[in-house]
């Protein structure tokens, strides 16, 4: 195995379903040992992209190289080295956690002992429990465990925490961070900002089948020009342009019924903003640290949840 190459690389990836173009010339490179996030709203083409990279569907055009191998040449060797968790998989209801893992383990030539995997996902005390009796978070950890039994070089996670409660999400993040700490690579898709910021070394923001911005979460947030976001609304009409020139303000955009500003120095901008809007009747004001959500909205004018 070529250890110098990227864990994963794809160039000019295109996938068309009839008239619909789901993936529209997408380039990606995931480095060895990195956790890479594909971030975008539903329908952005994340899952289609990931399934092409996983060798589950063929691209209309473009090239894919995974762990230095290609799906058309070494499908068997590739399958042995990948761990894959699909967006939603209904594992057999009436197999126990242990039986399910043993089944998946049997498909691989090499792998980790089931006991270790149970420990990684903290399902030791559920080993004799039927899948149907697990909670949503436990089921999702079992699904990830099925991807870990082969001790993969590269782990694919497609929206691993969608629909989970906050505690289950954090437990799953710990599983991913533990996997990454062993020097392995991860490609995950998510539409949760906090997940990408927490887990990913680098993030590609995907919209309409293309990568529209790429960088570390910190870089992407810094690209806004300011680290803080001020959101406000007034009784009297107010345009973003009216605030854009105030000190410390790097960007201003409409946001729902009000305006969102990106600012670098809150202590300079806030008094100026308050002064400017005083006569207009302030109805709402809040500030927060800039997130990837703000990056996405700034780039596309839409929220990720839309």
Which residues in this chain contact other proteins in the complex, by CB under 8 A?
54-56, 76, 79-80, 82, 84, 86, 88-95, 98-99, 102-109, 111, 113-115, 119, 122, 124-125, 127, 130, 146, 150
With contact defined as beta carbons under 8 Å apart, do 170 and 180 qualify? no
Place of tokens 């002064």: 275
With contact defined as beta carbons under 8 Å apart, do 57 and 163 qualify? no
- Dihedral Cα 90, 93, 99, 105, nearest 10 deg: -10
Instruction: Give the shortest CB-59-to-other proteins separation in angstroms.
Output: 16
Beta strands in 114-198 (DSSP E): 154-158, 185-190
Nearer to other proteins, 59 or 217 (CB): 59
Distance CA 275, CA 226 (A): 20
For residue 93, which phi and psi values (nearest 5 degrees)? -60, -40
Instruction: Give the shortest CB-245-to-other proteins separation in angstroms.
Output: 53
In Å, how far from its chain's centre is CA 27?
A: 16
Nearer to other proteins, 150 or 161 (CB): 150
Instruction: Give the shortest CB-198-to-other proteins separation in angstroms.
Output: 25
Contacts 24+ apart (CB under 8 A), 116-119: 117/145, 117/148, 117/149, 118/145
Nearer to other proteins, 112 or 191 (CB): 112
Distance CA 21, CA 62 (A): 14
Element (H, E) at 184: none
Instruction: Give the shortest CB-121-to-other proteins separation in angstroms.
Output: 12
Nearer to other proteins, 98 or 231 (CB): 98
Nearer to other proteins, 80 or 264 (CB): 80
Instruction: Give the shortest CB-165-to-other proteins separation in angstroms.
Output: 22
Instruction: Give the shortest CB-115-to-other proteins separation in angstroms.
Output: 5
Nearer to other proteins, 86 or 212 (CB): 86
Name the pairing type of β-strands 82-85 and 20-30.
unpaired
């Amino acid at each position: 195995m070529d250890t110098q190459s990227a864990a994963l690389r794809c160039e000019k990836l295109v996938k068309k379903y009839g008239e619909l173009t789901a993936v529209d010339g997408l380039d990606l490179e995931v480095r060895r040992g990195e956790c890479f996030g594909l971030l975008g709203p539903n329908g952005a083409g994340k899952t289609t992209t990931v399934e092409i990279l996983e060798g589950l569907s063929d691209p209309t055009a473009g090239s894919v190289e995974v762990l230095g191998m290609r799906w058309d040449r070494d499908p068997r060797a590739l399958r042995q080295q990948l761990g894959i968790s699909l967006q939603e998989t209904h594992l057999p209801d009436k197999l126990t956690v242990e039986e399910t893992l043993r089944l998946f383990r049997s498909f691989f030539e090499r792998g980790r002992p089931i006991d270790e995997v149970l420990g990684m996902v903290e399902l030791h005390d559920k080993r004799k429990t039927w899948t149907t009796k697990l909670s949503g978070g436990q089921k999702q950890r079992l699904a990830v465990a099925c991807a870990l039994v082969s001790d993969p070089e590269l782990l694919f996670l497609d929206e691993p925490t969608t629909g989970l409660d906050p505690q289950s999400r954090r437990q799953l993040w710990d599983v991913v961070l533990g996997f990454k700490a062993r020097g392995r690579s991860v490609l995950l898709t998510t539409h949760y900002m906090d997940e990408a910021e927490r887990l990913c070394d680098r993030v590609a923001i995907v919209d309409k089948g293309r990568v529209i911005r790429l960088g570390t979460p910190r870089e992407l947030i810094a690209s806004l020009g300011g680290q803080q976001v001020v959101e406000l609304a007034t009784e009297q009409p107010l345009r973003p342009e009216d605030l854009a020139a105030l000190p410390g303000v790097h960007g201003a955009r409409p946001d729902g019924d009000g305006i969102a500003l990106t600012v670098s120095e809150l202590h300079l901008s806030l008094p100026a903003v308050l002064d400017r809007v005083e006569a207009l009747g302030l109805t709402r004001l809040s500030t927060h640290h800039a997130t990837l959500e703000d990056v996405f909205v700034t780039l596309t004018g839409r929220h990720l949840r839309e």
